[in-house]
Amino acid sequence: MTLQATARAAAATLALLFPMAAHAAGADPAAALQAALAQAPNAAPARNVILFIGDGMGVSTVTAARILEGQRAGRDGPSNNLAFETLPDGGLVRTYSQNALVTDSANGASAITTGVRTVNGALGVDGGTRRGVCEPARFVESIARRAKREQGKAVGVVSTASITDATPAALYAHAADRDWHDDTGLPPEARAAGCKDIASQLVDAPDEVRMDVALGGGLAHFIPTVIGGSRKDARDLVAAWKAHDGAVFVQDAAALEQAAKGEGQILGLFAPDHMLRETGRAARAPQTPTLAQMTAAAITRLARAPQGYVLLVEGAHIDKAHHAGLVAEALNETVELSKAVAVAREMTDSADTLIIVTADHSHGLVINGGDRDEPVLGFIGGSDDEPRLAGDGKPLPILTYATGPGGPPAGEARADQTGLDIAAADQVRQAGVRLGSAAHAGEDVPAYAGGPAAYLIRGSMDQPYLFQVMRHALRLPLDAPAK
């Protein structure tokens, strides 16, 4: 089955999956309760773990994306379900860092994948780290590195960002600064102290912890300037990857699909830096894979591992679109993450595969009101199908940001958007306070889970607790053995 066919098949089964969820929205409440009461916790060990991180996917983003997906399909938006919302277990996750009330992606992802909070801007290191200061004694191991070293599991990472970006790098790298993508960002003093750039860490990792699948963007960080990259050390890390026994390198969906059928380790880099958002990919780079297709390929390859696997999948552009104030794009990327989760659920067995879907942090997206059937990307309507006016006499969008580039310039009033197509993908959404890039928000984020040990994802949790659930599900010991 092709990757596209796999994604279509998974989508076709969602209508069958949704009614099975004990808490599915729109279901009869009494029937939902009976289904929940009949549900037995799965306390068996997990053969596989798949961790989905929607970067910047806070509660309001999930809600708005749910409504948008339902409205696009001609359904009632508020009672719609994204694929991960029908997972049986879940709770709320606290997202602060070692040094800040509001986390960035580096600490957020690192806390989830290592069980240790660090400072904003650092990953794979402990909480005593000073950003930008290389101290190898502070390195901490991720769930993937431990699972491969201690249990022989296959490991993989998928992202629509550069594969050296903060969230994917948290699975395989140690960096006191998330900006150490390649040698140009690594200070001489850090190199002298024994630290390596993130791209080099991915390629040069010893066999006992090396990624079996790594798919995303970021090609420029792996090749020298003389062939169009950004590396000044003249190293060609793509060539170094391919020199490893059986390893392959791919740059498009067709090659990825073929490689996934083989046994070799796969490095897929589909853009010089971050991959395009789905609206741009479909129009300008259709040969590159979608997030769902990369997820399907990774599972296809990893599922043949005798001891099982650990896989991280990041929907990176939820966050990146939010930063730019592009709410339509952020919600569309959330729907794309939902499609990837649907594929994973279709391709795995909940009896032996733990799936967790969560976020590293939230964003300041606000749902201001509106009638139930009004387009979620539009204005709050009035009684005569005209936008209802706010106190300043101007129409109010259903969705706005607390901060961002859509805020009014200093000394100016909020713009009047009457007549504008504010639902357009390139339309910057209004914000309360003007910032060049919308700020992360610090409230708790959701977590959804199904499979072995999923019943432990509940209540109010700290981010490092998610690591402990995965560790327990895999039956890894509490402390990593000495190297």
By annotation, the residues acting in catalysis are 105
Cα first-last separation, the chain: 42
DSSP at 453 = T
10 Å CB burial of residue 111 (0-12, 13-18, 19+) is buried
Q: Which residues contact 43 (CB under 8 A, 6 or more apart)?
A: 452, 453, 455
Give the span between the Cα atoms of 137 and 140, in whole angstroms.
9
Query: Please, what's the b/e burial string for 250-275 (b: 16 or more CB within 10 A of its CB; e: otherwise)?
Result: bbebebbbebbeeebbbbbbbbbebb
State which H helix or E strand residue 407 sits in. none
10 Å CB burial of residue 386 (0-12, 13-18, 19+) is exposed
- Say if CB 52 and CB 340 are below 8 A apart: yes
CA distances from 413 to 216, 409, 431, 433, 460 (A): 41, 8, 12, 11, 40
Give the span between the Cα atoms of 46 and 419, in whole angstroms.
54
Specify the amino acid at residue 281.
R
